[in-house]
Amino acid sequence: MKLTRLDNSSGTKCYLVKFRKTTFLLDCGLSTKSILDFCPRRLPAAKECFAYAEDVGTKMTSEAAHNQPVYEVCALSEVDLESVDAILISDFTEMLALPYITELSHFRGNIYATEPTVALARQACEELLAADQALRLETLSTISKRKRRRQSNPQDAPQVASPSTSRAIFSRDEMLASLSKVSGVHYSQDVSIAGGLLKATAFAGGLHLGSASWVIEGGGRKLVYMGSASLVDAKCCSLDRNPLRFADALLLSSVALPPPPNQDRGTLSDVQEALVRKPSLSLLSQPPTPASQDRHSAFKAIPNAVTDVVRDGGNVLLPVGSGDLVHELIDEIASALKAARLEAKPLYFVSPAAQRSIAHASINMEWMTPAQRDKVYDKASAPYDSTALAAEGRLRLLSDLQQLPAGALTDGGCVIFTAALSVRAGPTAQVLRAWGADPSSLLVVTEPLLADDCALLEATNHLCGSFRMQLLKCVVDRRPTPFEIMPLLRYLKPRTLAVPSELWEALLAVPAAARASLGTEDTVAIPPRERVSVSLPARAVPVAASSALALQVQLTELPGTSEGHRGEGSLRVSRVSANLSVRDGSFALTAPDPGATAHFPKASRLIWGQLTLDGYARALKEQNFDAVTICAVRGEQLPLAIRESTEEDGALVSVTWGHHLGKVWMTANATHIVSNQPVLRFMLQEALFTQLHVL
Amino acid sequence: MDIRVLPLGAGQDVGRSCVLVTLAGRTIMFDCGIHMGYNDERRFPDFKYISRSGNYTEAIDAVIITHFHLDHCGALAYFTEVHGYNGPIFMTHPTKALIPLMLEDFRKVLVDRLGENEHFNSRHIKNCMKKVIALDLMETYKVDDELEIRAYYAGHVLGAAMFYARVGDQEFGPSVVYTGDYNMTPDRHLGAAQIDRCRPDLLITESTYATTIRDSKRARERDFVQQVHECIKDGGKVLIPVFALGRAQELAILVEEYWERVGLTAPIYFSAGLTAKANLYYKLLINWTSAQVKASHERGTNMFDFRHVAQFERAHIEKPGPCVLFASPGMLHAGMSLEVFKSWGSGEKNMVILPGYCVAGTVGAKLIAGHRGPLEIDKRCTVDVQCKVRYLSFSAHADAKGIMQLIRQAAPKNVLLVHGEKAKMDFLKAKISSTLGIPCYNPPNGEVVRVAAACAVKVHVSQTLLQRSLAEHASASITTTTYLGKRTRNPSDEQVGEPVDVVPVEGVLVSGGGSALQLKLLDNTEVAPAFGIVPHALSFGCTLRCCRSTSQQRAQDGAREIGKLKMEADASAALDASVEAVRSWLPVEPDYEQGVLRVGSFEARFNVVGSSQLAGTGGEPEISPVPSGSPATCSRGDQQDANAGGEYIEVACQWKADDAPMAERAISLLRQSISDSL
């Protein structure tokens, strides 16, 4: 199996797999990190901030190379997409590059993703398109000026992602056309790839609604792709572990990495230090990488913080986007507010996908935990409270900020959920402009990408103190940490473990005691944009043998054999001639037609055992040969047919039968019978068979 | 291996569906319904057939409920709580959500309205539902190590599913599909039934409309809304008795759309309680409806958010003015629909539309039969029926065409009909046997049918053997190449259906010693290393020698072992001819160069030698690997012949035991052809 990693460690995933003459892609993510390369025009003190960011070496200005936002797609141009049979998607965050593949290439294969994944991807795309639009409006007007300066000084030009992978955003029509080509699947539903050569099955991943681990089987071998696993108990179906066990190869990419110590936004910690010294901004940041379960409980701190702020008349902005996290947050915050008797305070969900997100969240109980399902079964109420909140009017769904009731931003005690792509543009930036100077308001950051983006806000604050909002950084990353993944791997017992190289380094950083005895035979680290081979064992293929064939078989005991080392009792064997029928890549054995024997049946026989000259001579004598003489022969004098297989010395047995002559050269493990008389040859062979086992 | 089928209900009948199927030691009960037409114990399936001991949990491995209609699930709580079945129960998510409503409603009508003894109570229903495992469509669920079930979309009602069950691995174990009720044409809120070509050994299908080919649904829908509209225009009230779930929602969508389009304002009511709650469930289960409803939900409108529909209250009965009322139950035998009928039935302007089947004896059935004038409903109440009565069948069952279509799709080896009237079944049975050539059964309740299932044995074929067998016959066909490299993408149904290619396989079947009962089919070369035996190599050799001979001698020699022929023609020409003869006979092109012919391990070296050379080597038999060296004589007889002098064609042969049959045949052919050509 050949595994090519097409992403380059920017957080998205994309793998090209060649397995059993089939080519398929696992995920096709789109990195929106490049949004961070743009500088907002109207954020407080943008200019100073811009300069500062440039000084500390962030990539904030690389937009100078382009006049429009670009996104980093995996190295799809290196792949002949026409030869790709299928794309398997593990999570809605990992399929945003799909329009580039389906609409802008010759790809003609099938795409499989779970049904909620497709729906959530649609919402994510709507938000991405809106954010892109907003960014185009917000991009600094000074681009051209800066660009000129850059060109005059090419050495300074920041390293821009290679043009082959940077693309402008797709259109909405392309997105819709693309998503309509995805075949929605259910968990545990088998789909066949390349006409049945492979069978792929999605199992619950646990990260988001509809997240899937894929099990791909073919030729008796099993490949598992864990692209979106989580061990945290959320409201979506939790990780289905058992089907992932005993894989021949496990490709694991769902691990929360600790923040790289030497990231290119290296000044972030400096900024933070500066912030801590500055009393105006209360940074409620969480410790860097607690275990995901702790991180999850940290997430529980959000409703409390929101309630406190709202009680004091402050406003809260939560850029979380339209995943399933937003519904969990809405549920938690609404019930916390209710408990604090603040249910009159308005909640707004501002996103182009808000309406769709709420509608969709109410109808997917099949993809959630039994507790959520019981809510539907027993009370006929939607699995998320957000549905009811929206129906009651407590939660207002707005596609953009213009629809916000007048005064909502200034009245205080308002909670707004927005899309999570950037704090620099769109509704999020608009709200920040309104509330940025208000120290009683709170910004809650849950997205890792946005946490990076907050460096900008911090820089703003650092420089001019104009940004006074409280900031609660509570990155919700439910993927298991390297430490947590170890017991899981021990349980799954893959034969070969394949992981992205940076993840492998993180796994190696885990204390040896926790790493011990994973039970895998082999580990393959895959560097970005590299191809690795994973050797899979040749496995026997289960084939259905018809009962007619089974009845023909007569098993005989095979003396002196045992199956490997654990054999107790001897094997029972039979020689079988059958017809193998091939259909959809699967096989069946049937009894051969009695009339139609093969043109030249091979008389393949397995002959083995201990041969003694005496015994053979005795057997010959019993067959009434006229004369039997035995003489020793040196190895080099033996006929070539024997010398091919052995160097030992042997013996020559000469017989006569009437006027016919026969000679038999023999060594311990080879016999060569020579006679010009077929009957004599046959008799010599039969005498031999009385001494040996024949199958 | 047989599949044993025992209908406990719905055998040559409609109602109390309950079919017991035993496959390879696993027993599954499909559906557990009641019969609406009976009030005695015939209402329930005959459970005593299951097991004499009455321990049903032991006798049954799984109960599968296809959908929430009472004739498919009505006896479930009774079976689990009163008869004590404690094993797993499977159904789809919507069925699990909606069955408690149906059972509770049924129980209430029975006890509260008809005053019967209750067979089960509310607590029973709750406890029963706790045993239910809900499944998603197409999900493959392993009940235990061997038994696997899968649900397919069936249309009919929300959450209705056809179930596939198999014991053992795919293509090995016996499999069965039980359709429950299904609908092959999409309707207002549900899609059409779909099944893949799963080739079950047995397909158990409903046959409600075994003899009917139905007209277009669209026409019936248009007819329906026009009837309603006309009645409303004249100021009449329309009563539509429906069961709470399914038809009510479908017709409400119809009416709602029509109201929207035409701009009508007359109120539409849903009778209280059950129906309102049912709508809530429908809203949450959009995923199980038709693509159309799903799409409009995507756009933000939930089709089950009826804007024109209001809750019906008793006061509305006497309220003047036109209106439309959906009220349960559907057969006008009790409840709100009957109560409303009592007061509206005598109004000439009013109309009753019966959209579904009514059991004989109910008011609904009497109306369908055309009753006019005074109708005694109970001892206290007689209604003078003057209203218009319409019967429009909206039954969501497949018609004969649909049933045939489903059978074609699933490609079963046998078909068994249930859930239909006997006469109609017989007609369909004959049709299935004659047009599809599939054996078909329709047993009555309590009669066991045994269907032979082609049972396959699982053999693990080694990759080496598989690759070699396929490679040897690679040129033979398309599918072999499918396996070996070139792909056929998205094969159509036709391609999938046919076994594409057959290649011969020769191997050694090994049954593991000890406990591991696994059959392996190995390549010959793999056997010895796999089981620690050193194979003994066996090879053979001989030399043919042909010299000039008279025709008499030839006749004598014909009976002797070594042909000895006078070289009358050019020796090398004879040699070429014999090579050609062997070549034409062999199925594969042999290697032939520099006087050496090779096929497999068989090797024949041709040489022309003089007698003088021969004489010197007499008596030393050896199959010389180098033909130009000392040729061999193989017996004293030959040597004597050799001394007769002249030039010889000599063929030194050697082969391994594997190729012995071919080698022996080739040698006799060689001899023949050389002697013929000399």
Strands A627-633 and A650-657: antiparallel
Residues 6+ apart with CB under 8 A from B91: B64, B65, B66, B73, B99, B132, B134, B135, B159, B161
Q: Which residue has the higher pLDDT, B542 or A552?
A: B542
State the catalytic residue, choosing from B206, B221, B256, B526.
Answer: B206
Phi (first) and psi of residue B559, to 5 degrees: -85, -10
Return the pLDDT at B133: 94
Q: What is the mean pLDDT of residues A204-231?
A: 91
In B476-560, where does DSSP find H-type helix? 478-484, 493-497, 524-530, 551-558
Answer whether A615 touches B (CB < 8 Å). Answer: no
Residues 341-370 of chain A with CB under 8 A from chain B are 355-356, 359, 362-366
Measured CA to CA, the distance from residue B670 to residue B651 in angstroms comes to 9
Residue B371 is part of a domain; what is its CATH number?
3.40.50.10890
In-domain check, residue B498:
no
Task: Note whether B443 and B569 are same-domain residues.
Answer: no
Task: Note whether B148 and B245 are same-domain residues.
Answer: no
Measured CA to CA, the distance from residue B19 to residue A255 in angstroms comes to 49
Task: Sort out which chain B residues have CB atoms less than 8 A from A600's CB and list them.
Answer: 587, 661-662, 665
Instruction: Please count the structural domains in chain B.
Output: 4
Residue of A nearest to B280 (CA): A380
Task: Note whether B360 and B508 are same-domain residues.
Answer: no
Answer whether B561 touches A (CB < 8 Å). Answer: yes
Measured CA to CA, the distance from residue B149 to residue B198 in angstroms comes to 12
Q: Which residue has the higher pLDDT, A342 or A87?
A: A87
Answer whether A567 touches B (CB < 8 Å). Answer: yes
Residue pLDDT, tens place only, B493-512? 333 334 457 788 888 888 76
Residue pLDDT, tens place only, B363-419? 888 888 888 888 888 778 888 999 999 888 777 788 889 999 999 999 999 999 999
**Smallest Cα distance from A381 to chain B, Å:** 8
Q: Is B195 helix (H, G, I), strand (E, B) or coil?
A: coil
Residue of B nearest to A643 (CA): B537
Q: Count Cβ atoms below 10 Å from residue B139 Cβ, excluding itself.
A: 19
Measured CA to CA, the distance from residue B250 to residue B241 in angstroms comes to 13
Give the single-character DSSP code of B112.
Answer: I
CB B367 within 8 A of CB B342: no
Q: Evaluate if residue B615 carries a pLDDT over 80.
A: no
Q: Count Cβ atoms below 10 Å from residue B218 Cβ, excluding itself.
A: 8
Angle, in degrees to the nearest 10, between helices A115-138 and A426-435: 60
Q: Which residue has the higher pLDDT, B89 or A436?
A: B89
**Percent of all residues in chain A with a pLDDT value above 90, rounded to a whole number:** 19
CB A212 within 8 A of CB A461: no
Core vs surface per residue A465-485: b (16+ CB within 10 A) or e: eebbbbbbbbbbbbbbbbbbb
Task: Note whether B120 and B193 are same-domain residues.
Answer: yes
Give the single-character DSSP code of A66.
Answer: -
Residues 6+ apart with CB under 8 A from B531: A558, A561, A562, A563, A564, A571, B510
Token representation of residue A627: 């004369």
In-domain check, residue B571:
yes
Task: Note whether B273 and B227 are same-domain residues.
Answer: yes
Measured CA to CA, the distance from residue A442 to residue A445 in angstroms comes to 10
Residue B49 is part of a domain; what is its CATH number?
3.60.15.10
Task: Note whether B339 and B411 are same-domain residues.
Answer: no
Core vs surface per residue A309-332: b (16+ CB within 10 A) or e: bbeeebbbbbbbbbbbbbbbbbbb
Average pLDDT, chain B: 80
**Smallest Cα distance from B652 to chain A, Å:** 10
Q: Which residue has the higher pLDDT, B141 or A436?
A: B141
Residue pLDDT, tens place only, B330-366? 888 777 888 899 999 988 899 999 887 777 778 888 8
Measured CA to CA, the distance from residue B23 to residue B175 in angstroms comes to 7
Domain span holding position B467? 459-491+503-530
Task: Sort out which chain A residues have CB atoms less than 8 A from B458's CB and list them.
Answer: 542-545
In-domain check, residue B257:
yes
Residues 303-362 of chain B with CB under 8 A from chain A are none
**Percent of all residues in chain B with a pLDDT value above 90, rounded to a whole number:** 29
Q: Which residue has the higher pLDDT, B105 or A159?
A: B105
**Residue located via tokens 């001989």:** B542
Return the pLDDT at B567: 43
Confidence band of B488 (pLDDT split at 50, 70, 90): very low
Answer whether B573 touches A (CB < 8 Å). Answer: no
Measured CA to CA, the distance from residue B139 to residue B133 in angstroms comes to 12
**Residue located via tokens 């130009």:** B628
Token representation of residue B133: 């495992």
Answer whether B670 touches A (CB < 8 Å). Answer: no
Return the pLDDT at B449: 94
Task: Note whether B429 and B578 are same-domain residues.
Answer: no
Task: Note whether B252 and B266 are same-domain residues.
Answer: yes
Q: What angle do CA B445, B450, B451 make, to 5 degrees?
A: 125
Residue pLDDT, tens place only, B288-339? 988 888 888 877 788 888 888 888 888 888 888 899 998 887 888 777 888 8
Task: Sort out which chain A residues have CB atoms less than 8 A from B463's CB and list them.
Answer: 219-220, 538-541
Residue of A539, A580, A645, A652 for testing the chain B interface, max B β-carbons within 10 Å = A580
Q: Verify whether the Cβ–Cβ distance B489 to A570 is below 8 Å.
A: no
Q: Evaluate if residue B440 carries a pLDDT over 90.
A: yes
Task: Note whether B404 and B486 are same-domain residues.
Answer: no
How far lies B515's CA from each of A389, A568, B144, in Å? 61, 8, 21
Measured CA to CA, the distance from residue A249 to residue A224 in angstroms comes to 6
Return the pLDDT at A517: 64
Answer whether A589 touches B (CB < 8 Å). Answer: yes
Task: Note whether B226 and B296 are same-domain residues.
Answer: yes
Residue pLDDT, tens place only, A674-695? 888 888 888 888 888 888 877 7
Measured CA to CA, the distance from residue B412 to residue B404 in angstroms comes to 11
CA-atom Rg of chain A in angstroms = 35
Q: What is the mean pLDDT of residues B506-522?
A: 73
Q: Evaluate if residue A143 carries a pLDDT over 60.
A: no
Return the pLDDT at B561: 41
Which of A115, A550, A674 has the CB atom closest to B541's CB atom? Answer: A674
Token representation of residue A91: 């999570």
Residues 128-147 of chain B with CB under 8 A from chain A are 129, 134, 136-141
Q: Which residue has the higher pLDDT, B264 or A284?
A: B264
Specify the DSSP element, H or E, that contains A647.
Answer: none
Q: Evaluate if residue A69 carries a pLDDT over 90.
A: no
Task: Note whether B434 and B472 are same-domain residues.
Answer: no
Residue pLDDT, tens place only, A475-515? 788 888 888 888 888 899 899 999 998 888 888 887 776 66
Confidence band of B606 (pLDDT split at 50, 70, 90): confident
In-domain check, residue B110:
yes
In-domain check, residue B496:
no
Task: Sort out which chain A residues have CB atoms less than 8 A from B286's CB and list them.
Answer: 363
Residue pLDDT, tens place only, B408-434? 999 999 999 999 889 999 999 999 999
ipTM of the complex: 0.80
Residues 95-124 of chain A with CB under 8 A from chain B are 108-110, 115, 119
Specify the DSSP element, H or E, that contains B37.
Answer: none
Q: Evaluate if residue A461 carries a pLDDT over 80.
A: no
Task: Sort out which chain A residues have CB atoms less than 8 A from B492's CB and list them.
Answer: none
Residue of A nearest to B507 (CA): A576
**Smallest Cα distance from A177 to chain B, Å:** 15
B206 flagged as catalytic: yes
Task: Note whether B96 and B129 are same-domain residues.
Answer: yes
Q: Evaluate if residue A176 carries a pLDDT over 60.
A: yes
Residue pLDDT, tens place only, A559-576? 655 544 444 556 777 878
